[in-house]
Amino acid sequence: MTQSKNGNIVASAGNSIELADIMREHIRDYQEKYPLRPHQYKVVSDVLNCRTAYLGGRIEKCDHCGSERITYNSCRNRHCPKCQNIPRERWIKARKSELLPVSYFHTVFTLPHDLNPIILCNKKTMLNILFKSVSQTLLSFGHDQKKGLGGTLGFIAVLHTWDQQLNPHYHLHCLVPGGAMSKNGKQWKPCMNNYLFNEEAMSIVYRGKFVENMTKAYHSDALSFPGIIAPYKKPERYSALRSSLYPTVA
């Protein structure tokens, strides 16, 4: 902390290097190679302006000594490390309290980039389909007596929407405990030999459920096809897209 000449205004020294400092130095060079999309530009703008005079602020005054501290408003963007550090730690702590004394498996379900334009125009519908398809897949394998565990599976699913280059890349990371509760809810049924489900079989089921759920949304007019994706509104173009998804959804 530092003090002004009048001795009663306190502000942050700001000696540490932050993400915003790096972005100010290099964002123009980055933009020359990778033009920012509107939602990406907003993230950059929020990070650069977080807790600066640009977003406004307030003066906090101590009732005891009279010292005053300038505090600027935060951007509250979920991608900002300043704003999300404490919430992230709270979330991690809460999730750790839910962990069971069993093995866990990390499974990832992805969508092909060919679907990116449709997802960007139908985010709520398409991402709900992604979550629903993944949930149906995992639960069906959990209930399956022969291929699965013969019980009710539990899991946490976290959506990721970008890759490391900030390009759209939609996929779910799932944390799955190595076991399931019996149908009567009284017995834990662990997986055998540290093995959950067959990856290839699970991928096939997931593809089928995703394509089925997306097709239902298409036929119920829950999907919109503006601009460059307008051709997919035609049944023959959608049918071709649907056929192309089977080998790529995994």
Give pLDDT tens digits along the chain (250 positions): 344 444 454 444 456 788 889 999 999 999 998 888 888 999 999 999 998 999 899 898 888 888 988 989 988 888 888 887 777 788 888 888 888 888 999 999 999 999 999 999 999 999 999 999 999 999 999 998 877 788 999 999 999 998 877 788 999 999 999 999 988 888 998 988 888 898 999 999 999 999 999 999 999 999 999 999 999 999 999 999 999 987 777 6
* pLDDT (0 to 100) of residue 14: 53
- Say yes or no: 120 and 221 in one domain: yes
Range of the domain at 229: 99-245
- Say yes or no: 221 and 181 in one domain: yes
- Say yes or no: 40 and 6 in one domain: yes
pTM: 0.67
Of the three residues 25, 58, 83, the one that is the final residue of a domain is 83
* pLDDT (0 to 100) of residue 15: 62
Q: Is residue 139 part of a domain?
A: yes
Q: Is residue 168 part of a domain?
A: yes
* pLDDT (0 to 100) of residue 5: 42
- Say yes or no: 72 and 136 in one domain: no
- Say yes or no: 157 and 103 in one domain: yes
Q: What is the 3-state secondary structure (H, E, C) of the chain?
A: CEECCCCCEEECCCCCCCHHHHHHHHHHHHHHHCCCCHHHHHHHHHHHHCCCHHHCEEEEECCCCCCEEEEECCCCCCCCHHHHHHHHHHHHHHHHCCCCCCCEEEEEEECCHHHHHHHHHCHHHHHHHHHHHHHHHHHHHHHCCCCCCCCECCCEEEEEEECCCCCEEEEEEEEEECEEECCCCCCEEECCCCCCCCHHHHHHHHHHHHHHHHHHHHHCCCCCCCHHHHHHHCHHHHHHHHHHHCCCCC
- Say yes or no: 106 and 200 in one domain: yes
- Say yes or no: 232 and 124 in one domain: yes
- Total domains in the fold of the chain: 2
* pLDDT (0 to 100) of residue 44: 92
* pLDDT (0 to 100) of residue 10: 46
- Say yes or no: 15 and 120 in one domain: no
- Say yes or no: 197 and 111 in one domain: yes
